Chains A and B, each alone.
Chain A
Amino acid sequence: MLAFVVVHLLVALALVFVARRNTRAAFLVAAVPPAAALGWVLAKSGPVLSGQAVDEVVEWAPAIGLELAFRLDALGLLMTVLVAGIGALVLVYSAWYFHAGSGDARRSAPLLLTFAAAMLGLVLADDLITVYVFWELTTICSFLLVGQAGVSRESRRSAMQALMITSLGGLVMLLGFVVLGDTAGTFRISELVAHPPAGPQVAVAAVLILVGAFTKSAQIPFHNWLPAAMVAPTPISAYLHAASMVKAGVFLVARLAPVFVGVVQWWLPAVLFGLATMLVGGWRAMFETDLKKLLAYGTVSQLGFIMVLVGAGTPTAAMAGATMLLAHGMFKATLFLVVGIVDHNAGTRDVRELSGLGRAVPSLNAVAWLAAVSMAGLPPTLGFLGKEAAFTAYLRHEWVLAGLVVGSMLTVAYTARLLWGAFSTKPGVTPTEVKPVGPGLLLPTAVPAVVGLVLGVVYGVPDHLAAAYASQFGPTTYHLALWHGVNVVLVCTALALAGGALLHAVRFRLAAFRRDLPRPLDAQRGYERVMGLLERVAVGVTGRLQVGSLPTYVAIILLTVLAVPGSALLLNAGVPEDLRFVDNLLQVPLAIVVVVAAVAALRSHRRLTAILMVGVVGYGIGGLFIVDGGPDLALAQFLVETLTLVAFVFVLRRLPAHFSTGETTLRLPKMLLAAAAGTFIAFAALIFSSARQVPPVSHSYLARAEEGAGATNVVNSIIVDFRAFDTVGEISVLAVAATGVASLILASRFERRKRSSRATAVVRQEKQKEEVRD
């Protein structure tokens, strides 16, 4: 399974180069790996559905217990069908949707495939940490795919919003994973399911993980990023925001529900927030004029519905949840792709401008109807099976059932609005001119809708699949079927249909009614307020901490040093016993040189003299290293000292030759602070070196250097072998620091400053002119 993910990623890398030459070929090539993954899981479906999951564990850092664990079970199979199947179709569709050779196409082909890889890894992962890694990978891909070139402000803002909300949720979820894994002693999901942990920590973990799932699956109050993300090109919305990424949240809840069976902090929020999301999403969808936004709110609503089902933790609800996952992926992908075609070929997706499309493009109309029937929950479709199962699951909980029925009414209403808005002939609107729809766009659009219908008719297949997943929650006698006889559930379905039709009939009066409603809460405004607050706090904190004065920074650092380790030193100080005057008589002259140079540095008025004296101190220390028998240290010390000296001299060219002697107000505190810090360092060096309690590690290094690292220079063997990990870390820091310093200096180059000051001067002049004109 890891191999599939890796192949996806490698092909995505190659696609970067293919897409430069031919974007259509790139999309078609990109469709191959998901199709192969789909083929593989379908080939494995027989044993998997009979309960034999396929496991794969790759240990990649066994020392710290990190592994990439994958498991193909019923839920993984279902999600892979969605992710890989719809992925392949969307990629084929994209080949004809995007303008050949355009920047968006060149960017999207590799990115979409990378996203498919991350999604595949996510749905097959059997390890919480692996889940998290792929989870965040999808977030990053989504940011890039929604943002695209980032030319319009709206796309930048939407991409940022999606990133902020989902990654914040992801972090909270990671915390939950850590709590859960720590409590249970394992991060492997299959082991967690087999032996669910108990205790108060589990409740905490449940809530934290739910937050992550809610953000990703656009549940209230985090739902607003999803409609905003509709600025992305339609195939991307169809894939990310209907079939796969937003499913990650509900998938995670479905995946972990067996772990949290009976934990009230898990199922209660899932059901409550899910129900609220279903109702709010459906309500908003009924009034949207942008077809894509309508579908987005519809998706929010459906995700809430699925959340109610998968969070409950009962077998029938789980069956309904699995069925709805599949059904929603199928019909929503089709509908998004249909809207994409409408947008692409008619030039608009506004309900108020479209008219007469049903007659102009009957094939598209038929495909849309097919999917819409499933969305509305009419027989004989997958959507109908799912909705019947959902009503059955909540037969004993009247309030939830009522909520679901009302939610379904809204679903029927916005489904009707979608069909009416896109295809009907409206009086008073000029018929929209529409280009004929080619098979390249229509075929991938039709496939999921047809699959939704076929699986509805051949209901044994989804029943088998859903039952295989639901068996984790206990035995069930319920089976998906088109006809269960005349019962309460059928009445509920009929009620939903009738209510939806009624709502659609009175849609104009309803819209007028909604305009008069007060709107105390708005998630989008709330998000903007929170972000604004965050920025203001950041500005305030930065403004107070980053005052731009070097003496202040140094003072803060020194005070911290004095306060924390300094006080510890004062409390626990003991005079070392084996204190000697000198080890080697050569130390005496060297020490005198160092002391004299240090005093001279203090007394000098010229910057250059001070720098040179500091250099002398450094060389003197290097000399002490030689006397103590550390040629490596001495060499490094001399070299670094020289370089530092040169760097200082470079900088001095831009500074005045003498130290400023102007203000003397803070002189005494500064002197005291410096003296205290110096004294602390001196005593620390003296006492710390004799505070050793365990035998020094250097003995073992000395003993093992020759045979372990093949080195007779133990210092070097420590650097490149024993502590090589530290070295890699250090050089990374060095690279970052050097790049940062270089950027700072290059950014403040004279030419640049001049240019920017000229630019601001121009702006100022323009403003003055305007003011004069006013």
Chain B
Amino acid sequence: MSPDTKTRSWIGWDAPRERFLLTGFLRPGQERTVLLELTARIAFPTVLVLSLYLLFAGHDRAGGGFSGGLVAGQAFVLRYLAGGRLDDSSTVPLRPPVLIGIGLTIATVASFVPLLAGGQVLESAIYKFTLPLLGQIKLVTSVVLDTGVYLLIVGVVLDLLRTLGSGIEADVDAAAREQAR
């Protein structure tokens, strides 16, 4: 049922044909919607930036590592909904469990670093300094812990997509292929 089959061409003639999302997996034309793909293409980086904003703004405004991570996760959800098949490991360099592990490691290590500086576990410090162009910057060390949370949440969402999303999709495909035989 590829788009260039003559009898079907009138259905899929306006479906985009190039590889669009990074997965390298091309869906059959009927399962694609141009509008969603376009939206995903435009929104994906924007949403990621927004998630980073939430991560750093969290200390003073609404947001934080948890919300930021969830927003970044939603960006991937959007990408999956538009493009499908996210878990093509050859194109995604970091597999979700690795991401989860990195997040947990960062959070755990960050909680012990204050010990080296003579503080207590999970103590945070505040640094203020001035950067050219950006003006005064206030850096609270707890943002490192928050970054760990962020990465872990992104990993969890990606893991969800890998298993419940493309995992089930692949499953359905495999079952259908089996039945066709």
Contact = CB atoms under 8 A, between A and B. Distances in A.
A731 B138 contact: no
A713 B164 contact: no
A751 B174 contact: yes
B171 A750 contact: yes
Given A735-B104, A754-B178, A727 B74 contact: no
Contacts of B153: 734
B3 interface: no
Nearest to A719: B64
Contact of B124 (A709, A713, A732, A750): A709
A461 to B, nearest CB: 43
Contacts of A709: 59, 124, 140, 142
B135 to A, nearest CB: 17
B60 A727 contact: no
B168 A738 contact: no
A285 to B, nearest CB: 49
Interface string A634-648: 011001101100110
Interface string A732-774: 1011001101100110011100100000000000000000000
B172 interface: yes
A651 interface: yes
A635 B63 contact: yes
B74 A720 contact: no
A505 B97 CA distance: 66
Contacts of A751: 174
B37 interface: no
Nearest to B71: A639
A734 B170 contact: no
Contacts of A636: 66-67, 70
Nearest to B77: A646
B164 to A, nearest CB: 4
Interface stretch (B11-19, B28-36, B38-46, B143-151): B143-151
A746 B167 contact: yes
A635 B67 contact: yes
Given A654-B172, A717-B59, A731-B152, A724 B159 contact: no
B103 A731 contact: yes
B82 interface: no
Q: Is the interface of A mostly helix, strand, loop or mixed?
A: helix
Contact of B104 (A61, A721, A731): A731
A742 B159 contact: yes
Nearest to A633: B62
A447 to B, nearest CB: 42
3 closest A-B pairs by beta carbon, nearest first, are A639-B70, A720-B142, A710-B126
Given A650-B165, A710-B138, A741-B159, 18 more contacts: A639-B71, A639-B74, A643-B157, A650-B160, A709-B59, A709-B140, A710-B59, A713-B63, A716-B63, A719-B149, A720-B65, A720-B143, A731-B107, A731-B152, A738-B100, A738-B155, A742-B162, A745-B167
Interface of B: 58-67, 70-71, 73-74, 77, 81, 96-97, 100-101, 103-104, 107-108, 111, 120-122, 124, 126, 138, 140, 142-143, 145-146, 148-149, 152-153, 155-157, 159-160, 162-165, 167-172, 174-175, 178
21 contacts: A63-B120, A636-B67, A639-B74, A640-B70, A646-B77, A650-B164, A710-B124, A711-B59, A713-B61, A716-B146, A719-B65, A728-B111, A732-B104, A734-B152, A735-B103, A738-B159, A738-B160, A742-B96, A745-B164, A746-B167, A754-B174
Interface of A: 61, 63, 631-632, 635-636, 639-640, 642-643, 646-647, 650-651, 653-654, 709-713, 715-717, 719-721, 724-725, 727-728, 731-732, 734-735, 738-739, 741-742, 745-746, 749-751, 754
